[in-house]
Amino acid sequence: MRTGAVYTETVIYSAPEAFLNEAPYQTAIITLDGGGRVTARIHGARVAIGDRVAEIESRGGVPCFRKAE
Amino acid sequence: MRPVAVIGAGKTPFGAFPDRDLRSLAVEAGEKALRDAHAAPSQIESFYLGNFSGPAFVGQNHLAPYISTALGIQGVPSTRIEAACASSGSAFYHAWAEVAAGIHDIVMVTGVEKMTSQSTARVSEILAEAGDCSGEMKAGNTFASLFAMIARRHMHDFGTKKEHLAAVSVKNHDNGALNPEAHMRKAITMEQALNGKPIADPLNIYDCSLISDGAAAVILAPLDRAREFTEKPVRVLGIAQASDYVALDQKEDITTFPAVRRAGEKAYRMAGVTAADIQFAELHDCFTIAEIVASEDLGFVARGEGGPYALEGCTRRDGARPINPSGGLKSKGHPVGATGAAQICELVAQIRGEAGDRQLARHALGLAENLGGSGATCVVSILGAA
């Protein structure tokens, strides 16, 4: 699974129709250790810019990351 | 290339109009522009429509001839341009190019969007189609959250604060309160702006533009024919359109919009002016951070200083270079496909000295910046008295 650092993030309170039941939730753009960036959903604890994160799964084609130990 | 002038402009009020349909709004704006130009529909040689998502918002496609024929414009090329929230800015650019190139003389641009018949959640979903639906939007983002991520990084890199964002909102509401055609004619306090309902951190409801219905139209002609139509032609001195990645995660640095920089530089060069010469501007404040970043990318202020620039009052009506005297997308409203054309209408009104209570003291040279998506399209137009 991929690892990286948080480039930017937000917590979404006003969600689009398809995600209404999940709000509030956090999304982030991750700078990957292998190069490039990916937009991901953050699970678990909230993350801030610079935090190390690791991918935990891909759910419906959406990469999900959480704060690295 | 031939010099080009705006010979007529007209728009509907912006707001939530449950009894109006998309076509009637577009026709009202078009007819006002025709009257303003003392022109007949039969004189229009080509028609451009800026519209983002009529098919999703109101279930109607093939919109350009649907609207031009309703205006009595028959038989001529009738073309819809879709470039997200820069749709009618781009339509204006393409209409300008036709006139400048000598393909046609009298060309009309109309922008329209009818948004309020859908729920806010559904509107968010439709607008999200202007982002990368295979990546960023699939993860649950909205346009507010993409601009929230831009704001977050801008705060991290430059020390921009929530007070800076709020200053943009307070100022634009202050201006919109003087605009009889604005959607939300209401001044707000700094405290209100800082404590609105959270939308996507760090943006709250007062950082976000409005979901509106409305239309705007302008008519272009070669400068040497402009006075056949109007005593007050307004010249298109510089104009450019530029593009960039649709997905935010493909950009190297999200605190700047390369398409805004590129379109701005080209428009300045064409007009033979610099940022310092611009007396006022309509900038695309879809979110407060977007106005701050645009003021930097257009060279009004150095990188990272857009926040303090707004907070210190430089962009107020009585400041050194007023930004969004119309109230901007924040207060005037943001029927997305109409926004670019409406910005041109405001430039025309100010340059002619016809902006009423919100008329600026220095109004000879104005700039409009119309942004699509999170910066994938930008059109910059510089207008001045002919």
How confident is the prediction for chain A on average, in pLDDT?
96
pLDDT band at B20 (very low <50, low <70, confident <90, very high): very high
B138 neighbourhood in chain A, CB within 8 Å: 60-62
For position A4, what pLDDT does the model report?
Answer: 98
pLDDT tens digits, residue range B92-127? 999 999 999 999 999 999 999 999 999 988 998 999
B123-208+235-385 has the same fold as B4-118+212-234: yes
Which among B239, B44, B255 has a CA at the least distance from the CA of A7?
Answer: B255
Domain boundaries, chain B: 4-118+212-234, 123-208+235-385
Domain boundaries, chain A: 3-67
pLDDT tens digits, residue range B275-305? 999 999 999 999 999 999 999 999 999 999 9
Q: Kindly give the pairing relationship between strand B46-50 and strand B107-114.
A: parallel
Q: Please judge whether B121 and A16 are an interchain contact, meaning their C-beta atoms are less than 8 angstroms apart.
A: yes
Q: Please judge whether A27 and B152 are an interchain contact, meaning their C-beta atoms are less than 8 angstroms apart.
A: no
Q: Which of A20, A28, A39 sits opposite B135 (nearest CB)?
A: A39
- Exactly one of B154, B164, B183, B334 is catalytic; which is it? B334
Assigned CATH for A3-67: 2.40.50
Average confidence (pLDDT) over B239-262: 98
Q: Kindly give the pairing relationship between strand B377-385 and strand B234-243.
A: antiparallel
pLDDT at B386 over 90: no
SS (H, E, C) chain B: CCCEEEEEEEECCCECCCCCCHHHHHHHHHHHHHHHCCCCHHHCCEEEEECCCHHHHHCCCCHHHHHHCCCCCCCCCEEEECECECHHHHHHHHHHHHHHCCCCCCEEEEEEEECCCCCHHHHHHHHHCCCCCCCCCCCCCCHHHHHHHHHHHHHHHHCCCHHHHHHHHHHHHHHHCCCCCCCCCCCCCHHHHHCCCEEECCEEHHHECCCCEEEEEEEEEEHHHHCCCCCCCEEEEEEEEEECCCCHHHCCCCCCCHHHHHHHHHHHHHHCCCHHHCCEEECCCCEHHHHHHHHHHCCCCCCCCHHHHHHCCCCCCCCCCCECCCCHHHHCCCCHHHHHHHHHHHHHHHHHCCCHHHCCCCCCEEEEEEEECCCCEEEEEEEEEC
Q: Which of B128, B153, B198 sits opposite A16 (nearest CB)?
A: B128
Tokens read off for B168 = 């943009």
A14 → chain B, closest CA residue = B199
Q: Looking at domain B123-208+235-385, what is its CATH homologous superfamily? A: Thiolase/Chalcone synthase (3.40.47.10)
For position A59, what pLDDT does the model report?
Answer: 87
**ipTM passes above 0.90:** yes
How far, in Å, CA of A57 to CA of A34, rounded? 17
pLDDT tens digits, residue range B38-86? 999 999 999 999 999 999 999 999 999 999 999 999 999 999 999 999 9
B124 → chain A, closest CA residue = A16
Q: Please judge whether B201 and A11 are an interchain contact, meaning their C-beta atoms are less than 8 angstroms apart.
A: yes
How confident is the prediction for chain B on average, in pLDDT?
97
Q: Give the class (CATH, top level) of B4-118+212-234.
A: alpha beta
Mutate which of A2, A6, A12 to test chain B, going by most B C-beta atoms within 10 A?
Answer: A12
B284 as an active site residue: the answer is: no
How many residues comprise chain B?
A: 386
Q: B153 — contact with chain A (CB < 8 Å)?
A: yes
B85 as an active site residue: the answer is: yes
A40 neighbourhood in chain B, CB within 8 Å: 139
A29 → chain B, closest CA residue = B249
* Sequence letter at residue B153: R
For position B62, what pLDDT does the model report?
Answer: 97
Residues of chain A with pLDDT under 70: none
Q: How far is A54 from chain B (nearest CA, A)?
A: 16
**Contact status, residue B173 vs residue B327, Cβ threshold 8 Å:** yes
pLDDT tens digits, residue range B137-161? 999 999 999 999 999 999 999 999 9
Q: Which of B122, B149, B156 sits opposite A29 (nearest CB)?
A: B149
Q: Which of B121, B198, B247 sits opposite A17 (nearest CB)?
A: B121
A51 neighbourhood in chain B, CB within 8 Å: none
**Residue B127, phi then psi, degrees to nearest 5:** -60, -35
Average confidence (pLDDT) over B162-166: 98
DSSP H or E run through A15: none
Mutate which of B122, B132, B142, B255 to test chain A, going by most A C-beta atoms within 10 A?
Answer: B142
